[in-house]
Amino acid sequence: MTANQNWRRYEGPSLPPALAAALSMFVEQGYHGTSVRQIAAGAGLSVPGLYHHFPSKQALLVGIMDASMDELLDRSRAAEAGAGSSPSDRFDAVVEALLLFHIHRRDAAFVCSTEIRSLSPANRDAYIAKRDDEQRLLDAIVADGVESGLFHSPHPKDASRAVTTMCVGLATWYRPEGPMTPNELVAVYLDIARRTVGAVTGMSF
């Protein structure tokens, strides 16, 4: 994904059939409650055919989580790059990217949050490193905002993490049939995020 407005657009499936089938099963039954045979059937493959692409159930989980974090990082970086130099504009863009991802990729985000415990130690460390990259992106923006006087937070890192946690939480409860559209939800939560980092009164929203 390039640094343009495409980071707001969600069209078509984000995962190949085998990973999409695994994701659906993991959401419904959990990682440990799902068999490779069920995933293969859901993807329209034989078990040997599935193993040709993914040698284990763990590889399927890693595939989902890597693809999800890579997409989130790409969208967040593109959002920041297109927002200009102002910390407030960069903050708005990255938080919007986080919110939209956890709305439109809520199943993948849910599995990433709940099944990190099911990763092997090496795979868990690799995933956490990517997750930390995403957090550091927002941390740096909030720090810039405080330094420039646009944000007034005595605890910028904690405020930044609180904003991320709020965005991630959407994946556990958001439903398309709910009372707010994605755009309405983004507007409400972006306002909360700005208040969390102490955006100065009179800042252009």
- Say whether pLDDT at 203 is over 70: no
Per the domain annotation, does 10 fall within a domain?
no
Per the domain annotation, does 91 fall within a domain?
yes
Confidence of residue 201 (pLDDT cuts 50, 70, 90): low
Selected residue with higher pLDDT from 77 and 11: 77
Per the domain annotation, does 94 fall within a domain?
yes
- Say whether pLDDT at 1 is over 70: no
Please check whether residue 133 is in contact with residue 167, taking contact to mean a CB–CB distance below 8 angstroms: no
Per the domain annotation, does 125 fall within a domain?
yes
The 8-class DSSP code of residue 200 comes to P
Per the domain annotation, does 157 fall within a domain?
yes
The CATH number that applies at residue 48 is 1.10.10.60
Per the domain annotation, does 3 fall within a domain?
no
Q: 102, 116, 117: which is closest to 72 by C-alpha?
A: 102
Question: For the chain, how long is the longest CA-to-CA vector?
Answer: 61
**Do 162 and 92 have their domain in common?**
yes
Least confident stretch, 94-98, 139-143, 168-172: 168-172
CA distances from residue 58 to 109, 117, 187 in whole angstroms, order as listed: 17, 12, 37
The residue range of the domain holding 84 is 64-196
Q: Who's near 37: CB < 8 A, 6+ residues apart?
A: 47
Sign of dihedral through CA atoms 77, 81, 83, 89?
A: positive
- Say whether pLDDT at 82 is over 50: yes
Per the domain annotation, does 88 fall within a domain?
yes
Q: Who's near 11: CB < 8 A, 6+ residues apart?
A: none
pLDDT at 4: 54
pLDDT at 5: 66
Question: Mean pLDDT, to the nearest integer, of 93-109?
Answer: 97
Question: Mean pLDDT, to the nearest integer, of 87-106?
Answer: 97
pLDDT at 105: 96
User: How many other CB atoms are there within 10 angstroms of residue 131's CB atom?
Assistant: 19
% of the chain residues with pLDDT over 90: 89
Per the domain annotation, does 105 fall within a domain?
yes
Give residue-wise pLDDT tens across range 23-62: 999 999 999 999 999 999 999 999 999 999 999 999 999 9
What is the token pair recorded at 103? 């709305």
pLDDT at 63: 98
**Do 86 and 186 have their domain in common?**
yes
